[in-house]
Amino acid sequence: MSPVILSAAGVALVLDDSGPGLPRVRHFGAGLGPVAAAGLLPALPGPAPRLLPAQGDGWYGRPGLSGGRDGEHWPVRWTVDGIDVTAEPGSGGSVTVTASDARAGLRLTSELVMDGGGLVRMRHTVTNAAASPYRVAGLVCVLPVPARAGELLDFTGRWALEKVPQRGAFGQGVWSRENRRGRTGHDATGLLVAGTEGFGFRRGEVWAVHAGWSGDHVHYAERLAEGVALLGAGELLEPGEVVLAEGERYSTPWVYFTWSGGGLDDASARLHGHLRARPLPVRPVTLNNWEATYFDHGLDRLLELADLAAAAGIERFVLDDGWFRHRRHDRAGLGDWYVDEGVWPDGLHPLADRVRKLGMQFGLWFEPEMVNPDSDLAREHPDWMLGHAERLPPPQRHQQVLDLARPEAYAYLLERLDTLVGEYALDYIKWDHNRDIAEPVHDGVPGVHAQTLATYRLLDELRARHPGLEIESCSSGGARVDYGVLARTDRVWTSDSNDALDRQHIQRWTGLLVPPERMGCHVGAPRDHVTGRSVPLAFRAATALFGHMGVEWDLTAASQEERDELATWIALHKRLRPVLHAGRVVRADLSDPAELLHGVVLPERAVFAYAQVSSRLAIEPGPLRLPGLDPGAEYEVRVAGPVPEGVLMPQWASASDQGPVRLTGAVLGELGLPAPALRPASALVIELERV
């Protein structure tokens, strides 16, 4: 047969199904043009991994499938039973391969889908076809990368400082990032990237992989002495976690692969396209009361906060932790999802009614997967906690994990959430998850796999019952940011830190995976409650502007001048929202790490931010070369929003009787604009409109 080719948006994936065994992946990368579309390819020599590499195929690296049966071991040698291809050259398509090994007693289904933006997602399903149980130890999805991919980029981090990049050489052997936290993790790599030497946002060739899974997972890169290299990812299973009886099956999560010939921005755009295929309503500017009032839920104070929020132009009010029974601090009450009658004698209705009368939506915070031992729920149902009853896991944050895979616990949560969403006609839920999962045991076996699937079912069922409900994934900040949870939620809380200096970097790198409209980005208080650092309001607002903007600040303690300035920024965000939440994200590769330049571009409009995050080494800044514009188009260029205090602005940014400066995209991209000499913790927002 001719090679199987999927192609779209300048990307091609070539499968060679000649010979025995599963198809080999001969190419994943740049499009191959009309010759490939016609199936006219030369012989494809050299080693290439199969869809699920195994030793029987001559692969001596990490196996695609690992597992076995008690008392016997038969290495798998797949025989292909069928290949179903649905593909249109240039538009992507899908390939489904079915295979079996009668002696090993296994069947396999492998699915590959390329969307119209060139993003590839892959999933394997293994079925036990024998009478004895089969223990799945691992099942991963892989695609090859060429020898010229000599560098690796991935990410680490911690609470309130997520997505810290780390780079190194892609040498021989395995570079593996394994997560056993029971959630995606603050230190999760998110996106493992291989690229040509010196790749950046706008330069170099890159390949990347992401596992769309919210439980334990692995991302890895491997290079063998035979000259083959690949990227892989999947769920990370504990021994005995998945045991298949006859006829039972296990599927990997969807694993996403992206390629770019023009740096990280193009690879990121393909990922954003996948999430944007599920449309969102207009993203309302949101106020969350947590950093404003914490556990102080005095009604008068919250009503005043709501009044000031509406006056500033805020469109959604979210009541955070502390509204339910026994919750006057973080040591009690989790699991008791009833409105606290002592604090709220009339329920939440007085607040919800005022919020809606002011024209805002109303949202509520939950942490459904957790339970405090000091709660009615834990006292009445101690067996509902995830772990051995006689030796519970070590507590974190005074919390244990509720075993959602237990039907009674699941039913309780569904009833409570469903009832409260209905009673208060909630527009929005902030769904939190504030601890790692340690020593998880469900029915005597490791429990993260079952817990993650149960969480997904709960989210899916709640949304099915309330189709208009929006849900935010929060996990002590950005510890659950992945395409598994984002398939079921509408945004992520990017970090518990609202320090705008740290947020510039956190949002920059989280934004590789998540488009701006799905990243919660809030204006915090003048002094950040995590770092203790103080930065000007203009910088805090300019940082929050480029996401799903919100406020996390006690406006009752702000001056009228501060509230007026905040209202100006909120109005600017609303005006620019059609660009910020739909355009292509671009980032410049600047030589000085003290400066950041990024933007969002549509064919007719663009918005950029030039941010100074520390002191420059050079006396004068370099020119602002704006990436991503149409070279042949002419643009009007103007400053949007307040100018940073004490900054001498260049001539192009000053008001002129002749009107805004007009320049072509080629000039703006190659020569750039003279940059103002900003102070640290300041930013300039630039707006462009095509003439």
Residue 57 is a catalytic residue: no
Q: Which residue in 265, 321, 432, 502 is the catalytic one?
A: 432
Q: How far apart are CA 177 and CA 184, in angstroms?
A: 12
- Do 446 and 239 contact (CB within 8 A), yes or no? yes
Copy the structure tokens of residue 523: 């204006």
Kind and range of the H or E run holding 523: strand 519-524
Q: How far apart are CA 564 and CA 306, in angstroms?
A: 16
Q: How far apart are CA 684 and CA 646, in angstroms?
A: 12
Please report where in the chains the tokens 């993003």 appear, as a residue. 119
- For residue 245, the one-letter residue type is A
- Give first-to-last CA distance, the chain, whole Å: 52
Q: How far apart are CA 322 and CA 301, in angstroms?
A: 14
Kind and range of the H or E run holding 364: strand 361-366
Q: How far apart are CA 23 and CA 142, in angstroms?
A: 13
- Do 376 and 325 contact (CB within 8 A), yes or no? yes
Q: How far apart are CA 385 and CA 403, in angstroms?
A: 5
Q: Which residue in 101, 265, 496, 502 is the catalytic one?
A: 496
Q: How far apart are CA 547 and CA 514, in angstroms?
A: 10
Q: How far apart are CA 52 and CA 59, in angstroms?
A: 10
- Do 219 and 209 contact (CB within 8 A), yes or no? yes
Instruction: State the sign of the Cα–Cα–Cα–Cα dihedral 563, 564, 567, 572.
Output: negative
- Do 649 and 676 contact (CB within 8 A), yes or no? yes
- CA angle centred on 332, ends 330 and 333, rounded to 5°: 110
- Do 458 and 391 contact (CB within 8 A), yes or no? no
| Beta strands 79-87 and 65-68, pairing class | unpaired
Residue 564 is a catalytic residue: no
Q: What is the CA radius of gyration of the chain?
A: 26
- Looking at residue 399, the DSSP 8-state letter turns out to be B
- Do 136 and 237 contact (CB within 8 A), yes or no? yes
- CA angle centred on 520, ends 505 and 178, rounded to 5°: 60
Per residue, what are the HEC states of 177-232?
Answer: EEECCCCCCCCCCCCEEEECCCCCCCCCCEEEEEECCCCCEEEEEEECCCCCEEEE
Copy the structure tokens of residue 242: 């998945």
Q: Residue count of the chain, please give it.
A: 691
Q: How far apart are CA 53 and CA 140, in angstroms?
A: 10
Q: How far apart are CA 264 and CA 126, in angstroms?
A: 33
Per residue, what are the HEC states of 125-180?
Answer: EEEECCCCCEEEEEEEEEEEECCCCCEEEEEEEECCEEEEEEEEECCCEEEEEEEC
Q: How far apart are CA 100 and CA 179, in angstroms?
A: 31
- Do 300 and 563 contact (CB within 8 A), yes or no? no
Q: CB under 8 Å to 378, separation ≥6 — which residues?
A: 335, 371, 372, 384, 385, 400
Residues classed as catalytic: 432, 496
